[in-house]
Structure 1
C-alpha cells in the first residue's frame, strides 16, 4: 500500500513540477521515475537556437522545474534530497531527487496553492508601484547556492536596465520577442545574478527564479521574466559591465507589479503530454 501511494504521489510531483515557468514556454525537461527517486534531464531538442545558442534558457527552465518538484514533494509528504549531476558541461542528466515518505510540510496547503496559481501574466500592470521594501523582501527569498536577486531601487541603475531591456526587445521585435517584455516606469525590477556563467549556475538561477515566483504569487504580485536582454549578447554584456560592474553574471531580469483587481483569469498555456516527458 505504501509503495502504491509513493508511485502515485511521485507521478503527482512531476505533474506539479511541469507547471513550472520556462523560457518562451519551451518546457525543456524530461523525467525518469524510479523507486523513491526522480531524475531530471534536459530535453535539448526543445532548445531555441536563435535565442538560446548556449542552452542557458534550457537549463534555467529545468532549474525552475527542479525547485517546483522539491516544493511539491515536500507538500505531498515526500521530502526530497537533491543530488546534482557531477558534470553539467555536457548536460542531459541534471539532478536526482531522492524521496523519503513522511508527513506533508507545515506550509503544504499554501505551497500547493502557489504552485496551482503561478502563471505568466503579460498584461500591463497597474500604475501602482511596488514599495521598495516589498521588492527587497521578495528578492531575499532566493536562496539557491551561488545566486543573488538584486532589487533595482536606485534611479540610475534602474533607468539603465530599463533602456537595455527595451532596446533588446526592439531588436528582437520581428517574430522573436515575447509579448509584455517592455518595461513601464512603475514596474518593479529585479536582476537574477550568479557567481559564474556555466550550466550549474544556470540550474541554480532557475531554482532561484522559482523561489521568487512562488513567493510573489503568495504575496499577490505578478511577475514577468524578461529574457530578451539576456539573449542579446550586446545588451547582456552592457548589463554585466555597466550596471553590475563586472562583479556578477546576469541570468534574468524580472518585472514585478500588480494586476488590476477583477481582471478575468488567464487561459493557461498548454503542457506537454505526460507520456512525452517521461524517459524509460
Structure 2
C-alpha cells in the first residue's frame, strides 16, 4: 500500500496535525496526558512522556501506557473521520522504549468501524456518578466485548453476583492500600488541584459533589467536587468490564488502551455513560487478587464501568486538554 505522503495535496498535508489535535480528547490517568508527538510528512510518531509519569499512582507505567494506547486509538478514529486510511507500527524502535507507535497516512480503504466513532471524540466524558438500575442489554454488552476483541483484548463482563462482589472488594481494598503508598496522596492532591490555566488534571467540576450509594467504596477515588450528582435507592445497573490480555509486555498494555478507547467511544455512541477504574491494576498485589476474583489466567489491564445515566443528570463538563503546541516534539 503506497504511502499517502508521496502525493499529499496542500489540504491533505495538514491531516496528521488535525488528527493529532482531535486525538488529544483521549482519557488518561488523572488527566495527566502523558504523551508527546512528532509530526512528519504523512506520518505521526507517538512517544510516552516520562515527565508526566505518576510513580506513586502508577509504579510500573501501566496507566501511562494504557493512556497512550487510548490516544493512539483516538488518533486512528480521527484519521478515519477525516477521510484517511492509516497504517500503525507499534514499538517501531527497539532502542527507544518511549517510541510507542508510528502512524502513517496511506492510500487505501477507510476503516469504517473507526470512522463511525468520529463524532464521539468530543462527546465522551468520564462520568463518576451513580447510574440507573437499568442493566446494559446483553446484545449491546456483547457488541462491546467484540470491539475489545478486535484489538486482541478480552473484555470480561462482571455480572455473576459472587464475582461482582469479589471484584468490588478488590477495588475498594486497592483504593485503601494505595493511600499508604509513598507519593500517592501527594500526586492525588497535585492532579486534583491544578492551577487555573494548567490545561490538565481532574477539575472539581468533573467529580460528583455527593457520595455514591452505601457499599460502593470502590467508586470513590477523588475528593468530593462540584458536579451535581445523586444516589438512588435502587441498585446500580452499571456493569464492570475488565480488559485482560494474554501477556503483560509494553505492547499488551498499549493495545489494551486502544481497546479501552474503542469500548468507551462505542458506549458513548450508544448513549451509555462510562468511567475508568484503574486502582485495581496499579499495584501488583491487587492485580493478582483481581485475577483470582475473575478466575482468569490472563493479565488484568483495566476496569471499565458502563451504564445508563440517571434521568435529568446534568452534562459532565469538558475536562481541560493541553494545546497541540504543548505536545509536539520539534
SS of alignment partner, residue 166 of structure 2 = helix
Q: How far apart are residue 93 of structure 1 and its match?
A: 0.7
Say which one has the larger Rg.
Answer: 2
CA separation in 2, counterparts of 1:123 and 1:215? 19
Are positions 1:91 and 2:97 aligned together?
yes
> How many pairs are equivalent?
279
SS of alignment partner, residue 51 of structure 1 = coil
SS of alignment partner, residue 124 of structure 1 = coil
Counterparts in 2 of 1:182 and 1:22: CA distance versus 1, 3 Å: same
Q: How far apart are residue 255 of structure 1 and its match?
A: 0.9
CA separation in 1, counterparts of 2:40 and 2:268? 31
Question: Any stretches of 5+ residues in structure 1 without a counterpart?
Answer: none
- Does the Cα contact within 8 Å between 1:61 and 1:206 map onto a contact in 2? yes
Aligned to 2:45: 39
The one of 205, 209, 213 aligned to 2:260:
209
CA separation in 1, counterparts of 2:137 and 2:173? 26
Q: How far apart are residue 55 of structure 1 and its match?
A: 0.9
- Does the Cα contact within 8 Å between 2:80 and 2:118 map onto a contact in 1? no
Aligned to 1:19: 25
Q: How far apart are residue 265 of structure 1 and its match?
A: 1.9
Counting only pairs closer than 5 Å after superposition, residues 140-179 of structure 1 correspond to structure 2 as 140-172=146-178, 175=185, 176=188
CA separation in 2, counterparts of 1:84 and 1:26? 22
User: Taking structure 2 as the reference length, what is the TM-score of the superposition?
Assistant: 0.77
Instruction: Please report the RMSD computed on the Cα atoms of aligned residues, expressed in angstroms.
Output: 2.5
Q: Deviations over 1:71-128 (max 9, x none)?
A: 1101111111001224569521111111025786656874221112111111221232
Deviates more, 1:226-235 or 1:200-209: 226-235
Q: How far apart are residue 195 of structure 1 and its match?
A: 0.7
Counterparts in 2 of 1:128 and 1:89: CA distance versus 1, 3 Å: farther
Aligned to 1:100: 106
Aligned to 1:274: 324
- Does the Cα contact within 8 Å between 2:80 and 2:112 map onto a contact in 1? no
CA separation in 2, counterparts of 1:144 and 1:261? 32
Q: How far apart are residue 34 of structure 1 and its match?
A: 0.8
Q: How far apart are residue 206 of structure 1 and its match?
A: 0.4
Aligned to 1:240: 291
Q: How far apart are residue 44 of structure 1 and its match?
A: 1.0
Q: Deviations over 1:120-166 (max 9, x none)?
A: 11122123222344323212211354421111222221211111112
CA separation in 2, counterparts of 1:121 and 1:84? 30
CA separation in 1, counterparts of 2:119 and 2:92? 33
SS of alignment partner, residue 134 of structure 2 = coil
The one of 172, 176, 182 aligned to 2:218:
182
Aligned to 1:3: 9
CA separation in 1, counterparts of 2:243 and 2:259? 8
The answer to which structure, 1 or 2, has the higher relative contact order (CA under 8 A, 6+ apart) is 2
SS of alignment partner, residue 162 of structure 1 = helix
Q: Deviations over 1:213-263 (max 9, x none)?
A: 111011111111110111132221111234234x10000111111112332
User: Taking structure 1 as the reference length, what is the TM-score of the superposition?
Assistant: 0.90
Deviates more, 1:78-87 or 1:91-100: 78-87
Question: Any stretches of 5+ residues in structure 2 without a counterpart?
Answer: 1-6, 190-201, 209-216, 220-234
Aligned to 1:257: 307
SS of alignment partner, residue 97 of structure 1 = strand
